[in-house]
Amino acid sequence: MPDRQLRNIPVDVDVRFDFAQGEFKGLMLCFLSAKKDAAIPTPSICRKTADRIKGDVTGTVVFLFDSLPFYQRQRMIEQGVYFVVSGKYANLPNLFVNAVESAKPSKQNGKLSPVAQYILLYYLQHPDCNFHNIGNIEAVTPFSYLQISRAVTDLEHFGLCKADYRPGKGKELVFDSDRRRLWNGALPFMKSPVKRTCFTDTELNNRGAISGVNGIAHYTSLSPVRKNTLAFDKKKLIEVTKSLTTNPIEGATEIEEWQYPPTITGTEYADPLSLYLSMRESTNPRVEDALEQLIENIKW
């Protein structure tokens, strides 16, 4: 970067770092690398330096290293420092994810992604969960940091949560504390978790989550039926069906492949809200009544 762009940089920072500018998907980045004979800056120094100069440079501050030990990388991440180890590693949470997501065409179907829907349904059905940051979500859901970052962008797009970057803390997420209101607002953007169905006469011993009519019957006064319906995510279904004979028309057990794991509540039954979404198109009056009861029985 030319000197004219560094006039407002504190002298001690200018002496310690070289500055360069870059761009990714329309996002400006300001790279800082320690001068040749300078010591590698500590995570604390990096965080404080980024906070000091963020108003004096164009773009997000990113520290550039030729090499960095694992323990130092971990400390940088904990401090919320954006950094790149040349050719090896990049810690740019949310920054590149948001850039890539914003470059994608707008959603044609106007629906949440499966991961975003799972996260929202988990929040709605676990009143004590702490979803203030991506790390907390990662700890209780079966998804990676990157998948969750993309899902958060999705939830923001539909106005279902707010996310603000806090130095040293990463993104802080805010969901509506009125869960019933959030559910009503999200309904138009959610879809049935069921991707496809098939049938089998082989005894499964309830290795999947109980769904369908019997799932709803568990939570309501609806009478169960003889034919059971079991839900699986794609990975588990592949494992289970290795030893099964299935057909697409009929069988003693109906098998549903879900777009996300049917384990939100951690019981042998699929969660109530996913069950509602899976059967809300039913024209059976008994099921329609049970679905209304299902929602009213939830302790929001």
Q: Locate the domains of the chain by residue range.
A: 14-92, 101-188, 194-290
Amino acid sitting at position 167: P
pLDDT at 257 over 60: yes
- Kindly report which listed range (161-175, 218-232, 257-271) carries the lowest average pLDDT score: 161-175
What does the angle CA 239 – CA 244 – CA 246 come to, to the nearest 5 degrees?
115
Q: What is the pLDDT of residues 11-48, one digit of tens each?
A: 999 999 999 998 877 778 899 999 988 888 999 999 99
Which tokens is 207 given?
Answer: 């290795």
Q: What are phi and psi of 195, to 5 degrees?
A: -90, -40
Q: What is the pLDDT of residues 192-216, one digit of tens each?
A: 999 999 999 888 875 789 999 999 9
> With respect to CATH, is domain 101-188 assigned 1.10.10.10?
yes
In our burial notation (b when 16+ CB lie closer than 10 A, e otherwise), range 269-297 reads bbbbbbbbbbbeeeeeeebeebbeebbee
Q: What percent of the chain has pLDDT over 90?
A: 60
